[in-house]
Structure 1
Amino acid sequence: MLAAGSSQRFGSDKRRAPLASGHSMLQAAMARALDAFGQLTLVLREGDDPAALGVPAGVQVLFNPHGERGMASSLVLGVQHLLQGDAEVLAVLLADMPCLQQSTLQAVIAASDPEHIVQPQFQGRGGHPVLFGRRFWPELLALEGDVGARSVVRASAEYVKVLTVVDPGVCLDIDEPSALATLAPSI
């Protein structure tokens, strides 16, 4: 889960933004990911205090010393970490997407394998999480700047499994405080 951004458009640390449920945005996103995946690696800014952010025990935390270089630096750090293990698929999750439905997460997990990319789609729009089979990790390691992995998805289109879902949460990232008002009270 990528959580090392600067929240410039939000105007404050959106990871701490309180939701109606009483949890912060980051806590809600982590809880959904942990429920679905059972394990989570979280990329934070260098100097962040995981306890102050409400990171639960058992979540692996990586600190990005190059966060100012943009999203790609966090993604590369996460991929480098996972390469040390035997994982076959990685899910790119964003900390500002607390509305993902468990059924969506279970569906993308079920469709994933080491040779494909899985992306949920809602009303014709691609969303998150995107799951990358290990075959595509070298391309992820080559990313630079403030970009995600969209270029890898486009370049590997014949290996992309698109899952049409009824979950608007796959396209709902919270970039401005006004977006918090659109969230369901249960979030």
Structure 2
Amino acid sequence: MTEPQARAPCAALVLAAGRGTRFGSDKRKAVLADGQGLLASTLKQVQACFDPVYVVVRCDDDPQTLGINAQVHIVRAAQAADGMGASLAAGITALASIDAPAVAVLLGDMPWIAPRTFEHLLGHLAAERILLPCYQGRRGHPVIFGRHFWAALTRLHGDQGGRPVIEANPHACLVLDLDDPGILRDIDTPADIPPTSA
């Protein structure tokens, strides 16, 4: 397959308003082997490849204790308890005024996505396209939604994330097979944190 030549600007939206109850405590603050918190580490990876970067948190969150730096835009999701769809809708609504052809939607507990994956996805952007990264037959993150689909994303609710928009627009979806297990790797329990960061 021919490598894409063009790179277009793209916003990033990191979803970090969930309770993560299986972890037993606030996993966003869990310290990785390199000394960084989980959410802070994810944001650092994302900021290296995307601008602007937005993060969705709960209304009562303290950005400083979560390790969110001043360059990241904060979105407080009043309906975060309703599920990932509600958080995604809040985030996309906050992005409405920016000038970007697409947004990469990521999860706050996935700091191991390779930079080359971001670069590859950025080369396939289009306002009328949804990009779905895939590793060994399994779809992962980030999912990149072209601006054409943002209005539909603002109407989401519940805990399905962007799946309803993906399923309603199969003609617009481009699946990209990648050699990056990091697109699937997240943290659900303390046992998922490796002794050394990858």
Using structure 2 for the length normalisation, give the TM-score.
Answer: 0.90
DSSP-derived class of the 1:68 partner:
helix
Unaligned runs of 5+ in 1: none
Q: For 1:110 and 1:63, how far apart are their aligned partners in 2? A: 30
Percent identical? 41
Equivalent residue for 2:160, pick from 124, 147, 152: 147
Matched, 1:176 2:189: yes
Greater helix fraction, Structure 1 or Structure 2: 1
> For the aligned residues, what is the CA RMSD?
1.2
Counterparts in 2 of 1:31-180, with a 5 A limit?
31-180=44-193
Deviation at residue 95 of structure 1 after TM alignment: 0.1
Matched, 1:26 2:39: yes
Unaligned runs of 5+ in 2: 1-13
Q: For 2:151 and 2:76, how far apart are their aligned partners in 1? A: 21
Structure 1 runs of 4+ off > 3 angstroms?
none
Deviation at residue 38 of structure 1 after TM alignment: 3.0
Q: For 1:58 and 1:84, how far apart are their aligned partners in 2? A: 18
DSSP-derived class of the 2:49 partner:
helix
Using structure 1 for the length normalisation, give the TM-score.
Answer: 0.95
Deviation at residue 151 of structure 1 after TM alignment: 2.0
Count of residue correspondences: 185
Encode CA deviations 1:86-128: one digit per residue, 9 max, x unaligned: 2220111100111100000111111111010011100000000
Q: For 2:64 and 2:163, how far apart are their aligned partners in 1? A: 32
